[in-house]
Chain A
Amino acid sequence: MSSPYALPIARLIDELCKLPGVGPKTGQRLAFHLLHRRPEDARSLAQAILDATEQIGTCSVCQNLTDTDPCAICRDSARDGSVICVVEEPRDLAAMERTGEYRGRYHVLQGAISPMDGVGPEELRIRELLSRVQGGGVREVILATNTDVEGETTAMYLARVLKPFQVSVTRIARGLPVGGDLDYADQVTLARALEGRREV
């Protein structure tokens, strides 16, 4: 079926529909919203997308998204390098930072173990974590993956592979709602979960 819209509009709708959570209806709505804005607004949005995708890479130490390598947190000498907080996604790191309670370093796995989606330990940044721990100077690893099934499995897996090393491995407390995502938890809950972490 041919699109009822002029080609450039149809193309824009097409591209927007490739975004997660955007269906045909939302795609159309967004497209027309953009068309009604001033041209310089559109240009600035396009430029922001280009800049972000071109300038952002992963930090070679913590695997977080960054525009410098190593990232700002990994370079910050005021932070405690002997504690590593392991999270699934960059947005979980951001959530942890917002609590203002944590002064150690991070490691971003870029996902969680989920056999249904074909994601196992090899698909995550676990090897990089192990070599950081192996490199020495690490006293504690805090497992702050989500409390859902995949996050829990990932935490248990990490606890097992970290066993041979001389580090204390802790898991954030389950004050989080069951099946909860870290970045949805409010800051108080998250801070408390961090405080109440236990050995695994």
Chain B
Amino acid sequence: MRLSQLELRDFRNYVREEVEPGPGMNIFSGDNGQGKSNLLEAAAWLAVGRSPRRAREADAVRHGASGFLVRAVGQGLAGRMVREMSFRSEGGRRLTQDGKCLRQVRDLLGGMRVVHFSPDDLFLVGGGPERRRRFLDLMIAQVSVGYVGALTAYHRFLLQRNALLKEIRQHRRPVSVLAALEEGMAREGARVTAERARVLEAAGKLAETAYRQVSGGREELGISYAPSAADEEALRVGLERRRGEELARGTSLVGPHRDEVRITLNGRPARLYGSQGQMRSAALSLRLAERRWMCERTGEEPVMLLDDLSSELDPGRRGAILRLLAGTAQVFLTCTDPGELPREPEEARYFRVEEGTVHRER
């Protein structure tokens, strides 16, 4: 996947700007607060239908404007495509690909694959387990429609079950409905867990390798999946066994929404013992693994959107990461000073970002 054009209108601090990125490395530099992250946010949002910083559409409308438009022209395995996302304060959001409306998340995922890294990814390693689950979910969802189906169904089961637990507690419903609901829930939940475990098995290894290269072989990253219930039978039994406790608390306590991705550095939990730079390196390794895995699964490179790659990384690690990135993927990379990037990549395109405008340099 390659973008040949990215257009922003009234998006964040951009009034109207058009960027023509090159097929390989694209470096966007500029002072703080000029619009570098906003540019990458727009591309990621367009790809997966959701802001990577979890913003609502209304927040992204340029102050004083009444809506925004983001448009990308890309070239993928399936040929040329044009994707557009528009939002009007009255009238809501509209996403189209080649003029056809994309109504559901599942119509949208996979048509334009990206990997987005940002400073916020520190929480991928140091934050709560939901961050790691979300990482896995979005990565799998971008290649598997079936997974989106199972995940959506599971979440719906979860909402229904929690509503039912409340009803039962208020004696408005017999317990017999619960058993019926849990049957489908265990099946979908087990599908989610199995797919996550299978994917993490492969992607975890890729991340471990990437980390070894980033750290110059001095540290070992360890990634493993710890499901709250290993399979359908275990999930069914677990749901049944903890019903009493769940009835008291009115919420479901077992299932994929409680699964955990364990990350260790030299055998110890990274969350507790990792330095900032180490956690950042681990997060980047996960993103590099995401790229490799997607590429292996689909035969196509996702677009790499790397926001503020270099903060907190020593020059050795920066260099190693850039070497890992070199190759066939299209990369968008932001930094405050391109001089801090080690060996300047040969065919890179350089852009200067200033107050919501982007100028090509050299």
Contacts and interface: CB of A to CB of B under 8 A. Distances in A.
A161 B176 CA distance: 9
Interface stretch (A7-15, A37-45, A148-156): A148-156
A120 interface: yes
Interface stretch (B4-12, B36-44, B152-160): B152-160
Contact of A115 (B163, B176, B179): B163
B159 A153 contact: no
Given A160-B176, A160-B179, A178-B150, A114 B184 contact: no
A178 B172 CA distance: 30
A177 B150 CA distance: 11
A78 interface: no
Interface string B124-157: 0000000000000000000000100110110011
Interface in B5-56: none
Q: Interface residues of B toward A: which range?
A: 20 to 34
A149 B180 contact: no
Given A113-B177, A121-B177, A153 B184 contact: yes
Interface string B174-193: 10110111011000000000
A188 interface: no
B173 A149 contact: no
Interface string A61-74: 00000000000000
Contact of A149 (B156, B167, B174, B179): B156
A200 B119 CA distance: 50
Contacts of B172: 120
A177 B106 CA distance: 12
Contacts of A113: 177, 180-181
Interface in A142-192: 148-150, 152-154, 156-157, 159-161, 177-179
A141 to B, nearest CB: 15
Given A115-B160, A116-B160, A179 B149 contact: yes
B164 interface: yes
Contacts of B181: 113, 153, 156-157
A188 to B, nearest CB: 20
A156 B184 contact: yes
A149 B152 CA distance: 10
Interface in B195-225: none
B184 A149 contact: yes
Given A153-B184, A179-B153, A116 B159 contact: yes
Nearest to B164: A115
Nearest to B148: A178
B11 to A, nearest CB: 26
Contacts of A120: 167, 172-174, 177
23 contacts: A115-B173, A118-B167, A120-B172, A120-B174, A121-B174, A148-B153, A149-B153, A149-B157, A149-B184, A152-B184, A153-B157, A153-B160, A153-B181, A153-B184, A154-B180, A156-B183, A156-B184, A157-B176, A160-B176, A161-B176, A178-B150, A179-B152, A179-B153
Interface of A: 113-116, 118, 120-121, 148-150, 152-154, 156-157, 159-161, 177-179
List of 6 A-B pairs having minimum Cβ-Cβ separation, nearest first: A178-B149, A157-B180, A115-B164, A156-B180, A115-B163, A152-B184
Given A113-B177, A179-B152, 10 more contacts: A115-B164, A116-B159, A121-B177, A148-B153, A153-B181, A160-B179, A160-B180, A161-B176, A178-B150, A179-B153
